[in-house]
Amino acid sequence: MAGKIATRAAYGEALCELAEKYPELVVFDADLAGATMTKGFAAKYPERFFDMGIAECNMTGVAAGLSTCGFKPFTNTFAIFASGRAWEQVRNSIAYPHLNVKVIGSHGGLSVGEDGATHQCIEDFALMRAIPGMKVLCPCDGNEMKLAVEALLNYDGPAYMRLGRSAVDIVTDEIPGYKFELDKGAVLADGSDVTVIATGIMVQMALKARELMAAEGVSVRVIDMHTIKPLDEDLVVKAAKETGCIVTSEEHNIIGGLGGAVAECLSEKCPTPLVRHGVNDEFGRSGTAAAVLEAYKLTAEGLCEKIREALRKK
């Protein structure tokens, strides 16, 4: 496959590609179909697409009701509204009765860019992870995204999945032995000195950081943790034992997301030096996606600093 595509674009394509195979799939949006990329599905399957207007709480509840009638609803809006505005509807109307609704949050993280802090959701993993029984996903590229959409269609229960705004390199299609399995992380590159557990766009950054660190003689293992909850604890513990230190990397607050999940796992099951790379408990700001990521050190070089820090802790 190779090339570059935003995960939101791949998601939009996946909805269209899977619509015939899964007639129960129905799609909701909240006046953002052009941005969440559900517009293709809306044009092709208008009878299965519902634009609920700028009313995310109702959209979430209607999807819950519809799921009790045998449909597989996917709700779509920005991550900040999907996981924030409608949090309690996700909790009480979807997760508590364990209904088959997939809550999709597009434009997650700082790479939203110019729209600034109000729209840069850096708390969605934490918010959704705290709800009992919710799965939380953040695929890293277009290939993985399409596999994740189909996996979610075959999973009968509630899940949240974050999509990204910016185009990112497709990397998983060229990894020998790569396969997507819900609830399981994927080792994209082996290494023996340190493991980077990354999610979303930080996976590509991690692969770049691995090359940079190789020049310094450091062998970096890269795990793509597309499913943040339930966390693949066996894979985390194995990496901790085999490489002796861990760095988590995510476009999210370092509190409560992937870093929090890995810290919880390690502290209980295999205490190991850990450094969390992410947003340091502060809000984002406006700028191009690249400029904002640079400002917050969510870059391959920023990750290398954290890797060196982890190695010093060994």
Neighbours of 281 (CB within 10 A): 10
- Token pair, residue 296, equals 């917050």
User: Using CB under 8 A, which of 11, 41, 49, 50 touches another protein?
Assistant: 50
Phi–psi pair at 169, nearest 5 degrees: -60, 140
CB nearer to another protein: pick between 92 and 219: 92
Q: How far apart are CA 110 and CA 95, in angstroms?
A: 27
The CB-of-91 to another protein minimum distance in angstroms stands at 8
CB nearer to another protein: pick between 48 and 308: 48
- Rama region for 54: left / alpha / beta (φ>0; ψ in -120 to 50; rest): beta
CB nearer to another protein: pick between 66 and 171: 66
Residue 45 touches another protein, criterion: CB under 8 A: no
Span of 61-69, 116-124, 197-205, 217-225 interacting with another protein by CB under 8 A: 61-69
The CB-of-51 to another protein minimum distance in angstroms stands at 9
Contact (CB, 8 A) for 272 and 266? yes
Residue 300 touches another protein, criterion: CB under 8 A: no
Among residues 13, 20, 56, 174, the one annotated as catalytic is 56
What part of residues 94-123 is at the interface with another protein (CB under 8 A)? 96-98
Three-state DSSP state, 61: helix
Span of 66-74, 162-170, 226-234, 296-304 interacting with another protein by CB under 8 A: 66-74
Span of 42-50, 133-141, 171-179, 210-218 interacting with another protein by CB under 8 A: 42-50
Q: How far apart are CA 155 and CA 182, in angstroms?
A: 9
Residue 52 touches another protein, criterion: CB under 8 A: yes
Active site residue 268: no
User: Using CB under 8 A, which of 19, 33, 63, 202 touches another protein?
Assistant: 63
CB nearer to another protein: pick between 38 and 60: 60
β-sheet bridge partners, residue 274? 246
Cα 282 to Cα 111, 254, 262: the distances in Å are 15, 10, 21
User: Using CB under 8 A, which of 19, 64, 153, 168 touches another protein?
Assistant: 64
Q: How far apart are CA 224 and CA 207, in angstroms?
A: 10
Residue 88 touches another protein, criterion: CB under 8 A: yes
User: Using CB under 8 A, which of 7, 36, 67, 195 touches another protein?
Assistant: 67
Q: How far apart are CA 105 and CA 279, in angstroms?
A: 18
CB-neighbour burial class of residue 21 (10 A; exposed 0-12, middle 13-18, buried 19+):
exposed
User: Using CB under 8 A, which of 3, 20, 34, 68 touches another protein?
Assistant: 68
Q: How far apart are CA 275 and CA 157, in angstroms?
A: 33
Residues involved in catalysis: 56
